[in-house]
Amino acid sequence: MQKPGLPEGTRDFGPEQARKRAYIFDTIRTVFVKFGFQPLETPAMENLSTLTGKYGDEGDQLLFKILNNGDYLQKADPAALTAKDSARLVSSISKRGLRYDLTVPFARFVVMNRHALTFPFKRYQIQPVWRADRPQKGRYREFFQCDADVIGSDSLMYEAELVQIYDEAFAQLQIPVTIKLNNRKVLYGIAEAAGIADRFSDMTVAIDKLDKIGPEGVRRELAERGIPDAALNTIEKVLAISSPDELRAIFSTSETGQAGLAELDQVFGFLEKTSLKNEVKFDVTLARGLSYYTGCIFEVAANGVKMGSIGGGGRYADLTGVFGMPGLSGVGISFGADRIYDVLDELDRFPETLSETVRVLFMAFDEATHKYAFECVTKVRAAGIPAELYPEPGKLKKQFDYAAKCNIPVVALAGDAEMQAGQVAVKDQKTGEQKNMTVEALISQLSA
């Protein structure tokens, strides 16, 4: 006999957890639908060639690869095999991988179905993704993302819409959040102003950590990456600012930077006259890792909870280009459902009503009343009310125990006397009140 176990970073979800997760998905889905997004589902696995090269080198390493079926070593690259060169061997022994996010599969879908789609195309997608990362708090190897993307429009109205979606969804989930907004062009402008446009990605990685390591930490990190002192001073000045306006002077020589500011202005312009329940804040240190972002970028942090971001997204000017369909701009956001779950758990914000599903439990005393109770429970179910009948008549203690443990609020006893009268004894488990009534009366009481 072997001990069963789960792969690192994966979890089972028991009934209660699954219900809570469904609550999260339903809440987010409802908001997506309200904003006109349409559902999409794609396979768990994609061709490896679709996935590689889209997330940077780090991302490629975190892809789960699927071993080819059959005698794959026969077809393996002999040179790579003898040299034990894993990186090179992969392409000859694995042609499929598990999806790493939902955006790239979406881009693939758009390219393959361009003839059938009407642009701008708005889709939402709620599915698991897999990353071969080391698990830790709030980080899993299998987790769900809830994505909403618009593709085929440059309009910054969509950036504003996506902010509204974040705002509304988190308001409904009762998680106070800060929605952080920045623009890759602004970041590029900073690099230009500092004279290190060629070191753009080093710069963003470093300043992204401002929260964690402070200005001096950023400076040290930049210096370690070989950024010259003059540039460090410019960057330090930039990190101290709090509104986009303060960047204007710095961007006098950077067209890209100015364009980024103009985009941010527009997005905030759209939101100006609308009311939001959460704070939307420009954050110059927001960088985001995924290399395909080109314009506005978003990130959501739960206020007062120590947890990585629970949502993120941005605009990618040309995501479909690599699949042979250039010039199609898209913008999207993602909700990290598993982290949202952890936050809701920590804040104790799950609605209580989620645990009651079965509304009434029928109990019987012997075979005859058990049969009668079976008829009764059938009627209640026919009325659309979740109901159960205990499988064995007799021992009331056991049956009441079951009702209590399953959190069933009402029990209906079918005894001989009740059966003769065409009734059941209905007991409210919370108040202890009990009275006899017909099944029809029970149904109307439960429907009320």
Partner RNA sequence: GAGGAUGUAGCUCAGUUGGUUAGAGCGCAAGUUUGUGGCACUUGAGGUCGUGGGUUCGAUUCCCAUCAUUCUCCCCA
For the chain, the distance separating the N- and C-terminal CA atoms, rounded to the nearest angstrom, is 52
197 CB-contact burial (10 Å; exposed 0-12 / middle 13-18 / buried 19+): middle
Q: According to the binding rule CB under 7 A, does residue 87 interact with RNA?
A: no
Residue written as token pair 């006999």: 1
Shortest CB 429 distance to RNA, Å:
4
Of 70-78, 263-271, 379-387, 390-398, the window that binds RNA (rule: CB under 7 A) is: 390-398
Q: Does 143 bind RNA (CB under 7 A)?
A: yes
Tell which phi-psi region holds residue 342, choosing left (phi > 0), alpha (psi between -120 and 50) or beta.
alpha
Q: Which DSSP helix (H) or strand (E) runs through 358?
A: none
Sheet of strand 45-47, all strands in order from the earlier edge strand to the far edge:
45-47, 96-98, 65-66
Report the residue from 264, 389, 403, 442 that binds RNA according to the rule CB under 7 A.
Answer: 403
From 46-54, 107-115, 153-161, 398-406, give the range in contact with RNA by CB under 7 A: 398-406
Read off the tokens for 339: 């982290």
123 versus 288: smaller Cβ distance to RNA:
288
Cβ 269 to RNA shortest distance, Å:
26
Q: If binding means CB under 7 A, how many residues of this protein chain bind RNA?
A: 61
Closest distance to RNA from the beta carbon of 321 (Å): 20
Q: Return d(Cα 330, Cα 86) in angstroms, integer.
A: 35
Q: Which of 313, 337, 309, 328 is nearest to 161 (CA)?
A: 313
Rounded CA gap, 37 and 29, in Å? 9
Question: Which region, judged by CB under 7 A, interacts with RNA, from 24-32, 45-53, 132-140, 254-262?
Answer: 132-140
CA-nearest of 366, 344, 343, 369 to 354 is 344
Cβ atoms of residues 335 and 302 within 8 Å: no
Among 224, 240, 395, 445, binds RNA (CB under 7 A): 395
Residue with tokens 């009948």: 389
Residues 325 to 354: which contact RNA by CB under 7 A? 334, 336, 338-339
Q: How many CB atoms lie within 10 A of CB 57?
A: 9
The region of 28-36, 46-54, 134-142, 246-254 touching RNA under the rule CB under 7 A is: 134-142
Pick one of 6, 87, 116, 448: the residue that binds RNA (CB under 7 A).
6
Residue 326, both tokens: 């250039």
Bridge-based pairing state of the strands 65-66 and 96-98: antiparallel
Which residue in 419, 132, 157 sits closest to 267, CA to CA? Answer: 157
Instruction: Please identify, using beta-carbon distances, which residue of 231 and 413 lies nearer to RNA.
Output: 413
**Residue 397 near RNA by CB under 7 A:** yes
Closest approach, Cβ 311 to RNA, in A, equals 5
Min dist. Cβ of residue 177 to RNA (A):
11
From residue 151 to residue 170, what is the string marking binding to RNA with x (rule CB under 7 A)? --------------------
Q: Does 365 bind RNA (CB under 7 A)?
A: yes
Q: In the numeric block, which tokens belong to residue 234?
A: 């410019």
Which strands form 279-282's sheet, in the order they lie side by side?
A: 38-39, 121-130, 142-151, 330-336, 311-316, 296-302, 177-183, 279-282
SS3 379: helix
CB of 290 vs RNA, minimal distance in Å? 5
Q: Could you give phi then psi for residue 329, rounded to 5 degrees?
A: -90, 145
Query: Hey, which residues between 410 and 439 contact RNA (CB under 7 A)?
Result: 413, 415-418, 425, 427, 429-430, 432, 434
The site map against RNA for 226-265 (x = CB under 7 A) is ----------------------------------------
Both tokens of 447, joined, read 């429907």
Q: What values do phi and psi take at 299, rounded to 5?
A: -155, 145
Per-residue contact flags (x/-) with RNA for residues 301 to 320, judged by CB under 7 A: -------xxxxx--------
| 211 counts as binding RNA under rule CB under 7 A | no
Using CB under 7 A as the criterion, what x/- string covers residues 89-118 for binding RNA? ------------x-----------------
CB 420 to RNA: min, Å? 9
**Which residues make up the interface to RNA (CB under 7 A)?**
5-9, 58-59, 101, 131, 133-141, 143, 145, 205, 208-209, 212-213, 287-290, 299, 308-312, 334, 336, 338-339, 365, 394-398, 400-401, 403-405, 413, 415-418, 425, 427, 429-430, 432, 434
